[in-house]
Amino acid sequence: MNDILMILLKISLVIFMAGNLLDMGFRLDPKDALRGLRNVRFVIHTLLWGFVLGPALAYGITLVIPLDYPYAIGLILLGMTPCAPFVPMIVSKVEGDLGYAAALMLLAAAGTVVFMPFTVPLLIKGLAVDAWTIAQPLLLMVLLPLAVGMVILRVSPTLAARIQPVVKKTTFIATLVMAVLCVIVYGKGLLGVAGSLAVASQIIFFLIVTTLTYWFGFGLQQEQRVVLSIGMSTRNLGAALAPLFSIAEIDQRAIIMVVLGLPIMVIFALLVAKWFGRTAFKR
């Protein structure tokens, strides 16, 4: 029974990831994204926090906090995978720059595929997985659906407009199914993290990365700093889980650590939206 649930969970994860990226591709106007990509400061901040400082912070926390090694693996993977698919929704609510949100998501998707296969073996010692094993699911579930969506939008905006609602509804259903299956499959493990410092380590990670990306967004306008902070305070859980699901005998606590990031990330995203929304209102 558990094997069947795991298969269903992996299928729902694939639909969740590919659907979100395909949906983003349908709405990602390259002209909007180019505004952000032309801003060298924004690109440097995004790549630096997304793929250097973010992973380094997660790795540093594992050195300071005595986590069980599987939990440390999960935290480091979270540190390598910035930007959740729902970032544009939050950015629009707090009056951030949606063009820069598009640029950030594009950079995050491409950066995850390029950097993660090399940083995982570097930062996670003893994880028996090669770069290509990590890159394969990321290419299929991150870059390919995003590229397909953008191509369809470019070739036929009408077709993209027709398909997008179906993709969005299917992805929403897959998200609910995935959440329910995570609770069923990993419920006991999630309850067991209480005394492991796993929750504390994630709170510290999200708190630091959320505040510092905003405070140290030197040279960026308010609307752009908001986008950077929201993008870095959320994580692409599907991308973090992809290499773990590709390893046959992975310690389940590593997966549980990534799954634990979902409620913590959502809480931080809501707090960030409330805070930045208040700032936008004052302006």
b/e code 54-85 from CB counts within 10 Å (16+ = b): bbebbbebbeebebbebbbbbbbbbbbbbbbb
Q: How many other β-carbons are positioned within 10 Å of the β-carbon of residue 107?
A: 22
Mean pLDDT of 22-37: 81
Residue 57: CATH number of its domain: 1.20.1530.20
Residues 233, 237: Cα–Cα separation, whole Å = 12
Of the candidates 97, 96, 107, 102, the residue with the CA atom closest to the CA atom of residue 273: 96
**Secondary structure (3-state) at 228:** helix
What is the Cα Rg of the chain in Å?
Answer: 18
Structure confidence at residue 5 as a pLDDT band (50, 70, 90): confident
Per-residue pLDDT at 213:
92
Residues 158, 11: Cα–Cα separation, whole Å = 29
Q: Which domain holds residue 245?
A: 2-282
10 Å CB burial of residue 218 (0-12, 13-18, 19+) is: exposed
Percentage above 90 pLDDT, the chain: 24
At 44, which amino acid appears? I
Mean pLDDT of 47-73: 93
What residues are paired with 83 via a beta bridge? none
Mean of per-residue pLDDT scores for the chain: 84
Mean pLDDT of 26-51: 88
Q: Which of 205-214, 233-242, 260-269 has the highest mean pLDDT?
A: 205-214
Indicate the number of domains in the chain: 1
